[in-house]
Amino acid sequence: MANSYLFPLFLSLIVISSVSANFQRDVEITWGDGRGQITNNGELLTLSLDKSSGSGFQSKNEYLFGKIDMQMKLVPGNSAGTVTTLYLKSPGTTWDEIDFEFLGNLSGDPYTLHTNVYTQGKGDKEQQFKLWFDPTADFHTYTILWNPQRIIFTVDGTPIREFKNMESIGTLFPKNRPMRMYSSLWNADDWATRDIIWSNGKSSCPDVSKQGTTGSWLSQELDSTAQERMRWVQRNYMIYNYCTDAKRFPQGLPKECLAA
């Protein structure tokens, strides 16, 4: 690995399953040559990065819409060059994807939380944040809620981003392709649960609601309190927003930015 001298010999990401999840039942380690492990009767999953490579896993099922809560404790110390990911992705060359990515920085500098949405292989919807706590000191809950109307990114119950379905004005929105859930810990020096199970055209999911939102999650939206909390995060902790990057879009900002 380039600049491998910056890394400790061994870095580790620890993930705890939710009450209803079981890693042995729901996911499979897909790469890492032993660096990814499931223990504690399926309740604990560890992804590790050493000087050889990282590791990752994916869900055994595909999902069309869902709500995924993941409790994670990120790599402490000098994490420069590491990327820790939680994302949903469909197969193919014109894929859909919903990204939560944690970009490591030099010791003493906070992680960058990177979010993005792809539809039919087209992205360019990045928003980035600094966190208001140390994500390496303890476990925190990172949530992706995806329903036909919106995608909501949440940290410890606080919404940080809402990506609405604006197909009416020509903005692509991922709503037709089932996706798998993925998570990985890897070296990127070169550029740096509840859900619906899709099976044979049918789906199954409990009807649940969450504080700070209205309606079951399949039609969930942010109430006024959650909207204000999200605006607080964006005012104080957002460090990049594609909707304000006029230099990136010389022909004009995307339509959804103008309609927001």
Domains of the chain: 23-205+215-257 (2.60.120.200)
DSSP H helical segments within the chain, as ranges?
23-26, 224-237, 255-259
Query: Contact, 143 vs 222, CB < 8 A?
Result: no
**Considering 28, 43, 62, 97, which one is annotated as catalytic?**
97
pLDDT digits (tens, 9 = 90+) for 4-30: 223 233 344 444 444 456 787 888 988
Alpha-carbon distance of 117 to 66, in angstroms, equals 15
- Mapping DSSP to helix (H, G, I), strand (E, B) and coil, where does residue 216 land? coil
Q: How high is the mean pLDDT of the chain?
A: 79
Q: Which amino acid is at 22?
A: N
> Is 221 noted as a catalytic residue in this protein?
no
Query: Contact, 184 vs 49, CB < 8 A?
Result: no
Q: Work out the angle at residue 17's Cα, subtended by the Cα atoms of residues 228 and 100, and round it to the nearest 5 degrees.
A: 45
Q: What is the DSSP letter of 74?
A: P
Alpha-carbon distance of 143 to 196, in angstroms, equals 15
pTM, two decimals, is 0.82
Q: With pLDDT > 90 as the criterion, what percentage of the chain qualifies?
A: 40
**Considering 62, 101, 126, 162, which one is annotated as catalytic?**
101
> Is 97 noted as a catalytic residue in this protein?
yes
pLDDT digits (tens, 9 = 90+) for 94-142: 999 999 998 877 766 788 999 999 999 998 899 999 999 988 888 888 9
